[in-house]
Chains A and B, each alone.
Chain A
């Protein structure tokens, strides 16, 4: 499959690049120690493996075709992406040609506070050198910070046939894990993703990486499960609108095509809002909503959750007969999410008292965050239960469901 066959997803017309989201919230962490406690994502790989392109396409709305003109990166580029309070992370685009073991290269600092390390391998190129580099980086990083999650992007797979893709993935996986085992590091887990900037696979892969770094993921997933089971929804995603990364989804399996359609729907909603509903503070606001009915008796439904997040649902047409119920359930969901936020911010404030501690005991802080959130959210979930999501026509009428 070449990207030429993929007619959507890459379209960038003459629409404003900023997409009218309004000013970025840079002051979120203002009171505390800025930057330190954000989960940090490192983007690494040999030169010309596609790191900068990935970053541009996913976070800066650059069209994949335009990345051809990117110049090679010569220094570490630190990119703070704080467009959403859920996705507060930094991407360090580390150029391929830097020598890690240069004295000037402070690996303690680089790996110390890092949540995930993405290693990009160009699948269209000979990847032996990349693999040995991967092993070196992984061992080194693990020594300094054993909580780093290692993610390998087998990149530029748009140029490979389907069989070839699987074969390449198998080969890389085999070699990488063998090498680690030989070095006695088999306790390190690597995750592998097949990616390309010409389709949605790169967004999907990033979604998975980011989700691992969100301490309250389980709670969000749980909330989504509750919403969908009570509203006859088939599938629900919580999207970061700017990057089109999904922060969480319910427990049913993700169908790639559904995900792509949801991404495209976000584009439609934002583009149309920019034309007809743009004001000074952006086009995505607290009344942003969209309904799209497909002929396959499927309905796509989008609602704003907060400034940066949107809930996207896929439901059967008969399930949305009563929009009021969905609306009510959505409101319950939204207030629950906001409570998760409050809990999280409280924790964030606590944890930043000791900037030194942050990069030393990163995992531990995650741990306290996690337990803090879950205790907070137990109460919250209870409250949500108390509101009781409406289901069908009667409150809590699960038993009557079979009758209609």
Chain B
């Protein structure tokens, strides 16, 4: 299943950087080495096995932009499933940015009216802490107003913290066809395990694709932090030519298990009852594997989960 994703925004707003971080395992500071994107760079990202994201990274220099809206209009804006428009929060040419954004929406409306639109207010790290919320809300309101009749979802992002993961997780989430089914099963699984929460990560990007929270947690950004932590560790492992298969971390208050789950998903189980032996949880995870493999293949009809030990 192929999905065309347009990545647009003015030159230097950070489109290629974020693409590299999310899909090519770059770390934030390595993105300084990236040059400007010339015209359109196409890339295919295999996500969850059979979901292929066809990313069109559109260079944002004015000459290219004009071109997109004129001679390449049909080519670019046809069959778009998702438009991701990136705004540099520090941009001094707000008017112009908005103008291009609107031209873009116009073209989308003509060629792919069903497309989902996401706006990322990017480089938020450059804004003072206490100003971030205010500025984001201002921009969000402007954008929502300008986007009509289309609906847009806004995120405040920065490559230097977890907000970028959060935004992309939510975007990708909307592209997964059977995600509700996955979620239902996950919550059943969590119940059987007696877990506080269970998370599913996509294996290559470590984006969170589904989760079940049974005990409320105070940190709303924790998933993205975990993604970051694990991705960092994956890189460390790759330096010695290894990759990690499973991980168990505990102290007196919690036990967390991260395991390769299905060919394209990684599961994380968090338990607060530390008296449950690790082996029991691990066995449960092992037994659920088959079921989720079936789910992942997107074609199998829903079935109950009978084979768990607890």
Contact = CB atoms under 8 A, between A and B. Distances in A.
Interface of A: 4, 7-9, 11, 13-15, 65, 257-258, 260-261, 264-265, 267-269, 271-273, 275-279, 283-296, 298, 304
B249 A294 contact: no
Contacts of A4: 29-30, 33
Nearest to B271: A276
A12 B171 CA distance: 26
16 contacts: A260-B236, A261-B236, A264-B233, A264-B236, A267-B233, A272-B226, A273-B249, A273-B251, A277-B252, A277-B254, A287-B250, A287-B252, A295-B244, A296-B240, A296-B241, A304-B251
Given A4-B33, A260-B239, A269 B249 contact: yes
B229 A268 contact: yes
B136 to A, nearest CB: 17
A253 to B, nearest CB: 16
A14 B242 contact: no
A273 B243 CA distance: 22
Contact of B240 (A11, A13, A15, A257): A257
Interface residues of B, number: 41
B249 A261 contact: no
Given A272-B256, A293-B245, A293-B247, A13 B228 contact: yes
Contacts of A287: 250-252, 274
Nearest to A273: B251
Nearest to A301: B248
Given A4-B30, A7-B27, A268-B229, A292 B253 contact: no
Contacts of A293: 244-247
Contacts of A304: 251
Contact of B225 (A257, A264, A271): A271
Nearest to A10: B29
B191 interface: no
A276 B253 contact: yes
B242 A294 contact: yes
A217 to B, nearest CB: 27
Nearest to B237: A294
Contacts of A292: 244, 246-248
B183 interface: no
Contacts of B193: none
B89 interface: no
Nearest to B250: A289
Contacts of B232: 8, 11, 264, 267-268
A296 B122 CA distance: 39
Contacts of B30: 4, 7
A276 B235 contact: no
Main secondary structure of the interface of B (DSSP, over half): mixed
A285 B251 contact: yes
Interface string B237-279: 1011111111111111110100000000000001000100010
Interface string B30-47: 100100000000000000
B252 A272 contact: no
B194 interface: no
B263 to A, nearest CB: 14
A275 B223 CA distance: 10
Contacts of B251: 273, 277, 283-285, 287-289, 304
B285 to A, nearest CB: 13
B2 interface: no
Contacts of B253: 276-279, 285
Nearest to A63: B29
A54 to B, nearest CB: 20
Q: Which of B29, B229, B239 neighbours the largest number of chain A CB atoms within 10 Å of its CB?
A: B229
A268 B249 contact: yes
Nearest to B222: A275
9 closest Cβ pairs, A-B complex: A277-B253, A264-B236, A287-B252, A277-B254, A288-B251, A276-B254, A294-B242, A296-B242, A277-B251
A288 B242 contact: no
Contacts of A258: 240
A7 B235 contact: yes
A39 B20 CA distance: 47
A291 B246 CA distance: 8
Interface centre among A264, A268, A288 (most CB of B within 10 A): A268
B74 interface: no
Contacts of B293: none
A278 B253 CA distance: 8
Interface string B218-232: 010110011011101
Contacts of A8: 27, 232, 235-236, 239
A272 B229 contact: yes
A284 B226 CA distance: 17
B29 A65 contact: yes
A293 B278 CA distance: 14
A290 to B, nearest CB: 4
A133 to B, nearest CB: 34
Contact of A257 (B162, B239, B246): B239
A308 to B, nearest CB: 15
B177 to A, nearest CB: 30
Nearest to B32: A4
A267 B251 CA distance: 14
Given A277-B252, A289-B250, 13 more contacts: A4-B29, A8-B239, A13-B160, A14-B221, A15-B225, A261-B239, A264-B236, A271-B229, A277-B251, A290-B247, A290-B250, A296-B241, A298-B242
B97 interface: no
A261 B237 CA distance: 7
A223 to B, nearest CB: 24
A175 B161 CA distance: 46
A26 to B, nearest CB: 24
Contacts of A276: 217, 222, 253-254, 256, 270
A269 B251 CA distance: 9
Nearest to B27: A7
A14 B162 CA distance: 8
Contacts of A257: 239-240
